[in-house]
Amino acid sequence: MSQKSLKGTWSQAIGTFLLPIFIVFFIRWLLVEPFVIPSGSMIPNLLVHDHILVKKYSLGIKVPFSDHWIVRWRRPQAGEIVVFKFPENPDIFYIKRLIGLPGDEVSIKGNGQIFVNGKEWTLKSIPNEFDKLDDTFKYFIENSGRETHTVRFYDLPNSIDTHQLVKVPPGHYFFMGDNRDQSSDGRVWGTVPEKYLVGPASVIWLSCENTLTSVSYLCDPLEIRWKRLFKSVQ
């Protein structure tokens, strides 16, 4: 009688231990996964130490621990902010705004003004409401024709007389940062294979100015950016 009771206790203990692990694995594999913004390439829309959730289910389902799609329900749309594996080192994750879809021709004028298949992503100047103590940058509302978002430049977008043309290959995507003059993106390292897409960013669930000195990956509770909590990523 006591042996049966002991076996029952062990099986229950193992089940209790494994069930939460399975639930966490299932959520991160199929539904959402948390990421932390490490750089300023997406300022002003994403700041360093923003903690975001990425909708992995949005694009489809992958085989666990691989880059192979089991099923796809949709392509990401131009203008979405997407997390992906860095093509030159797939162990590193990047986050940028999607500019060019497979087959698109992207023309980049000046230091970041965009034309996709000949159609301009228009820019409308706006006042600096992001850092009133620093007038170094200029801010614009960029309109892709499908959605609008904010971008920033050191100077006016056409102030640099350069022109770059990117033809996005089949099965690839072209990304750029919203902080146009401070972003290492597709203009430097090219396009991203479809297999490396993770999912679109959804919401900022935590944000802070600095992390703890003793534990660098944890937010300092005294420096939480309260106004950014549960803000949608756009």
Q: Distance (Å, rounded) from C-alpha 234 to C-alpha 232?
A: 6
Which residue in 56, 96, 138, 207 is the catalytic one? 96
| Contact between 84 and 197 (Cβ < 8 Å) | yes
Asked if 96 is an active-site residue, the reply is yes
Interacting residues of 174 by C-beta distance below 8 A, sequence separation 6+: 98, 99, 100, 104, 106, 166, 168, 186, 191, 192
Say if residue 44 is preceded by a cis peptide, omega within 30 of 0: yes
Q: Which of 1, 68, 59 is nearest to 30 (CA)?
A: 59
Q: Distance (Å, rounded) from C-alpha 172 to C-alpha 169?
A: 6
SS3 for 2?
A: helix
Element (H, E) at 17: helix 2-26
Q: Distance (Å, rounded) from C-alpha 36 to C-alpha 83?
A: 11
Distance of CA 57 to the CA centre of its chain: 15
Asked if 41 is an active-site residue, the reply is yes
The catalytic residues are: 41, 96
